[in-house]
Amino acid sequence: MSEAAAATAAQRAAAPATAASQADGPLGVIAGRGALPRLLAEAARRQGGDAYIVALCGAAEPWVEDWPHVWCGFGQVGRIFSSLRAAGCRRVAFAGGVSRPALVTWRFDLQALGVAWRMARLLRAGDDGLLRGVGAIFEERGFELIAAHSILGDLLAPAGALGRVAPSARDLEDLARAQEIVAALGRVDVGQGAVVAHGRCLGLESVQGTDAMLGFIAGDPGRGGAPKRAGVLYKAPKPGQDLRFDLPAIGPITMEKAAAAGLNGVAMRAGQVFLLDPAATIAAADRLGLFLYGAEEAAAP
């Protein structure tokens, strides 16, 4: 990513929340997996607007049935745009995880064929490249892309120790090493997380995600030579990532999996990672004896 593009992404991230207004119509929520899209729709309604859900088949969850919605396959680009227009949406936001579909399994509609070659190329890029490209396709069609965190700012992790347990000096060393590793991964548009224990890198997040990485560590009795109980999971967006898409999220389940993997705690970049249910996440950390820590600044590379 160029520096100019990075600066633009940073500006977008810093821009204040676009106030919902009736003139903009409901917020179009392009909904993937997990709780984040539901939280986003609820927040839009709380803030005086409404939400219309584009539920991605195979990703979005049953809660969408309680909202005005349409189910769409990834390849049904025409259906996505016409549904959003019919619902009066001018602003759209992406939220929730999406497994990269194999392009061959998509059902394309006519409009999708028009962008298929771009999609095919995008699918070979990293996640951030893919999302940027998809975002551009929406913008070209006149939609304004809204960052989920401009509406869900309350859920962004604050700085410092959030529960009863604080990281030790050794945990903070592991955190600094994990920050360095996550930054390096992010620069080549790979995962948003890593686990380090006593200086040893026990796990690196690939497309299967954080839970799979923690499961890998939990299933490895040797732990790469690390002590039985040690280490930190660190989550952060990629350096220069367009923060309108795919901010990492941590919830109570992350804490359970981190405990099962024998870690001392979980850390995340403060202000750039969602806590899906802050009270429940902190309660889980306390119950499991883990720290939950918002790190102010990524380590310099």
- What is the binding site for a second copy (CB under 8 A)? 99-102, 104, 123-126, 173, 177, 180-181, 184-185, 187-188, 190-191, 195, 198-208, 212, 216, 220, 222, 224-227
Q: How far is the CB of 212 from a second copy (least distance, A)?
A: 6
Q: How far is the CB of 277 from a second copy (least distance, A)?
A: 25
Q: How far apart are CA 225 and CA 228, in angstroms?
A: 9
State how far the alpha carbon of 251 is from the alpha carbons of 125, 189, 248, 283, in Å. 28, 23, 10, 10
Residues in contact with 231: Cβ distance below 8 Å, sequence separation at least 6, in sequence order: 174, 195, 196, 197, 198, 202, 261, 262, 263, 264
Nearer to a second copy by C-beta: 48 or 199? 199
Q: Exposure pattern of 172-207 as b/e (b: 16+ CB <10 Å)? A: bebbbbbbbbbbebbeebbbbbbbbbbebbbbbbee
Region label for 246, one of left (φ > 0), alpha (ψ between -120 and 50) or beta (otherwise):
left
Q: How far is the CB of 123 from a second copy (least distance, A)?
A: 6
Q: How far apart are CA 277 and CA 187, in angstroms?
A: 29
- Among the listed residues 109, 128, 100, 102, the one whose alpha carbon sits nearest the alpha carbon of residue 32: 100
The DSSP element (H or E) to which 87 belongs, if any, is: none
Q: How far is the CB of 146 from a second copy (least distance, A)?
A: 26
Q: How far is the CB of 166 from a second copy (least distance, A)?
A: 20
Nearer to a second copy by C-beta: 116 or 184? 184
Nearer to a second copy by C-beta: 78 or 224? 224
Nearer to a second copy by C-beta: 84 or 204? 204
Q: Hey, is 156 helix, strand or coil?
A: strand
Which residue, chain included where needed, has tokens 């893919």?
A: 130
Q: How far apart are CA 281 and CA 162, in angstroms?
A: 10
Nearer to a second copy by C-beta: 63 or 216? 216
Nearer to a second copy by C-beta: 26 or 186? 186
Nearer to a second copy by C-beta: 62 or 228? 228
Phi and psi at residue 252, to the nearest 5°:
-55, -35
- Among the listed residues 174, 172, 175, 204, the one whose alpha carbon sits nearest the alpha carbon of residue 191: 204
Residue 133 amino acid letter: G
Nearer to a second copy by C-beta: 110 or 125? 125
Q: How far is the CB of 224 from a second copy (least distance, A)?
A: 3
